A and B are shown apart, each in its own frame.
Chain A
Amino acid sequence: MIKRDTKALITYFGFILPGLLIYLFIVAYPVFYSAWLSITDFNPNRGGAWNFVGFLQYRTMFEDPHFWHALKNNMIVVAVSVFGQIPIGFVLAYILFRRLVRAGSFYQSMVFFPHFLSTIVIGTMWKRLFQADGPVARLIQILSGDPSAQFDLMLRENTVMYPVGFALIWMYTGLYMIIFLANLQKIDTNMIEAAKIDGAREAQIFLRVIVPLLSGTILVSTTLAIAGSLRGFDLIFSMTTQGLQRMNAEVLPIFMYRTAFQDYRNEMRFAYGAAISNIIVVISVALILLSNYIGRKLKAGEEY
């Protein structure tokens, strides 16, 4: 019996170990490595000499105006995702679901399409479109009749997040539309019919029947949007030119990248960078747990 169990255990591990080992080495181990790095003064310029320095890196970070600037921009990105992409995606999905337009699948494929392009392509394309004398500027010139009009929102620190936010909405709205549509299609249509027979109008059906039924999906999408926004690197990186413009639009991941891989004079660049990435993970895990917690509370309240 024991012999058979041992054999079964060996088979079991034979199936699990190849994947598990790769996972442990490349995903799990670096987490601890990163935690360790962030409490040292690991110096790559001196062959990796290091001492424990406690929370020095974190203290530096909280005193660094670049960190707060990046965090603020990150929160703008989160807000754009939650209050831009999700509502627009929801409305579009609802229109498709209620078949208020013909050729729905055509519209659907069109709006969803940007999600398939590489973020770098999208970022570079919008960088071109948003150039001071680029296509968008030309459009403004035609519409306003002022031939010298320029599109300068990308150039100023306090406005750069508007075009960036627009590109973010442009790219991700289709994704949320598809997610909402998939869940709308799971709804029992009898409920809608019943509401209609009772004389409910389209707006009432939307607010009283559809939105409550989809509250779970809305929550999951919000979690997704928050986590995704905190990780977002590619789009802003490729939309901006290295230097002042990228610093103006900097979000936490770009701040981390700039610190660790571009600031070669900083002797503690990897340690400091690790502290920044750890904070990103902590913030996003906290937000995910929070929204799951709220979700569970809401679900518990629904059972009557």
Chain B
Amino acid sequence: MIPNVTRGSDRSSKGLVGKSISYIVFTTWGLITVLPLIWMFYSSFKSNDELITNIYALPHDLFDNKEDEYTVIPRALNVILPYDPEVDTRERLIIESATISPGRRLMLHFFLKEELPPELANLQPGDTLIVSQLPPRLRLKVSWSTIWFNYFSAFIRGGLGIKFINSVIYTGVSTFLIAFLSLMISFALSKMPFKKLSVVVLALIGMGYLLSIQSVIIPLFLMLSSVKLTDTHLGIIMVYTAFGLPLAVLLMTQFMRGLPDSLIESAYMDGASTFRTFASIMVPMSTPVVITVSIISALGIWNEFLLVLVLASSESTKSLPVGVFSFTSLMGTQLGWQLAALVIATVPAIAVYLSFNKQITKGVVAGALKG
């Protein structure tokens, strides 16, 4: 009988008003969350003119490129060549789009003259040609690179490729070090004798949780400058690792204390060394907390900004957030490129989010509530 009563009261309590309000609240908030992102995505395929004149329209110019007009231009100093003219001496026809930023040498194509039919190969600077005149293979190439114009430009001009790799290195190496070092520390603190000493060490490390990189960025900068580690991968990874440790050690020690001591004792009985016990019993059993710690650390490091902004002065050490920030601030007038750079930085996050949604959510909650 009780289930019936429950269901009955359910129906009355979850009344139409409550439900409607709930839907309105969630739909409104959902739209506020998603619409800006959707706008950002589709607008990243729009040309600069479209972005200024018609903010909400769907992209059109870059896709409708069959009849685009191009002008043949001479090889001059303001043309950045995608090949080394010293090595590759084959003659090329250089054309520039007459519709997308004409005259600014932003949208260029370089065709080998030997691949062109004679009537195109003999075109002189100043002549015009239409995309549909090109042979099919080149037509496809032009069309493709027109659609992805903003993306290619952002990726190449912003040097986002190297910054992406740097971000992967920082995140990967630091996360691994955090997990590894905190596993060792937590094992010693939770499963070895010297309880009093362990309490002191745990309190000492736990105190670091009150600090962020930002609170000591000035002394860090001075210290790392004095040992010439500012603009290096090593320096940045060391800082990330050190600041990842407090939370990782707190979470792991808590977890390991919950594991039964008997396992370790029986391993000792069987004559396993401490290290052996650690590697073959504790590490495998700690997988859940290692995943949590790795997710929290990786997410934080992937998005971290200030440290790299302060420490990295050369392009080869900057991370993706810093790269995107400086690119978008410099390219103030290239709206499409800006948006494309933002999307490039977002896509990996979306991919990871969609594939590990559940674990990530759990990890974030665990990390947040520790504070």
Contact = CB atoms under 8 A, between A and B. Distances in A.
Nearest to A33: B219
A98 to B, nearest CB: 7
Nearest to B241: A22
Interface string B181-208: 1101101110011100100010011001
A120 B349 CA distance: 13
B212 to A, nearest CB: 5
Contacts of B194: 8-9, 12
Given A118-B321, A234-B303, 20 more contacts: A19-B182, A22-B245, A26-B220, A28-B208, A29-B223, A33-B219, A34-B216, A34-B218, A37-B219, A118-B305, A120-B305, A121-B324, A124-B338, A170-B32, A175-B364, A178-B365, A202-B18, A234-B305, A261-B310, A281-B210
A74 B197 CA distance: 39
Interface of B: 5-6, 9-10, 13-15, 18-19, 22-23, 25-26, 29-30, 32-34, 36-37, 39-40, 55-56, 181-182, 184-185, 187-189, 192-194, 197, 201, 204-205, 208, 210-212, 214-223, 238-239, 241-243, 245-246, 249, 274, 278, 299, 302-303, 305-306, 310, 320-322, 324-325, 328-329, 335, 338-339, 342, 345-346, 349-350, 352-353, 357, 360-362, 364-365, 368-369, 371
A231 interface: yes
Contact of A116 (B185, B246, B349): B349
Contacts, number: 256
Interface string A101-115: 100000101111111
B188 A100 contact: no
A283 to B, nearest CB: 11
Interface string A210-244: 00000001001101100100010110011001100
A120 B211 contact: no
Contact of A33 (B34, B222, B335): B222
A284 interface: yes
27 contacts: A8-B193, A9-B194, A11-B192, A15-B188, A18-B181, A19-B181, A20-B205, A23-B246, A27-B211, A34-B219, A111-B29, A117-B346, A120-B321, A121-B342, A121-B345, A125-B40, A128-B335, A135-B39, A138-B56, A175-B368, A202-B14, A223-B371, A233-B214, A238-B325, A260-B218, A270-B222, A274-B219
A176 B327 CA distance: 32
B368 A179 contact: yes
Contacts of A261: 221, 310
User: Which of B19, B23, B212, B246 counts the most A-chain CB atoms under 10 A from its CB?
Assistant: B212
Interface residues of A, number: 91
Contact of A109 (B306, B329, B357, B365): B357
